[in-house]
Amino acid sequence: MEDGSTALFYEKAKVDTLEPQDLIRTVTEASDLTLPGWEPEKMDRISELFEAYKTVDEEQLWENLEIFLKEILPVAEACGIKMAIHPDDPPWSIFGLPRIITGEPSYEKLISISDSPSNAFTMCTGSMGANPENDMVQVAKKYANRSPFSHIRNVKIYENGDFVETSHHTQDGSINIQGVVEELNKQNYSGYVRPDHGRHIWGEDCRPGYGLYDRALGIMYLLGLWDAYEAGKSGGVS
């Protein structure tokens, strides 16, 4: 990055032409590629995953999700537990695998399966926001009350479909983080908020995208926004 940090980068042209087996080989041969879920014991069986899903489409995924939710939601509701499904990252099909939690229409479809208060979302601004068609301020305005858990992070989107993770600062990326936090504040949001991902800075020894340093900066940025909006409510700022 221009500021000397490093960050996770999605290169669309490369991903679109990369065969799953090439991906597996690249990941297993590089010790520094250690994203969650890419552990060697899981990568050893990923070919089985592609084989199992080769005939599965979006409609079948929705059918499976509906069966799952209708089984667990009554128990979750009775126990006061909220299920918070995370959007697909990125929010489109990849490596020939269908993905279904990708934007507002998928939220509406999920609600249509069950209106139980336990049928909820994780609102991840970076995952869903990687598609510029998803206006995350509007998503927050409409669905924050159904989101007990929010992942607030920023990405910079390029015209060719590439995107890169950035700091949480609004001006560093393409997501209107200020607007998202303002909308949550307007609704007196009481769910959990995580300052997700960010850059790898200051030589921290960490997984790319999962360092503590930039997330620590991120939470203070988010809290600063929240405090400013709270002060505005009480007339503390002009």
The answer to whether 152 and 125 are in contact (CB under 8 A) is yes
* 84, β-bridge pairs: 120
The helix-helix angle for 104-113 and 136-143 (nearest 10°) equals 20
Catalytic positions: 86, 124, 151, 196-197, 210
Alpha helices, H only, the chain: 12-17, 20-29, 40-43, 46-53, 58-78, 104-113, 125-129, 136-143, 177-186, 213-233
Give dist(CA 221, CA 199) in Å, integer.
Answer: 14
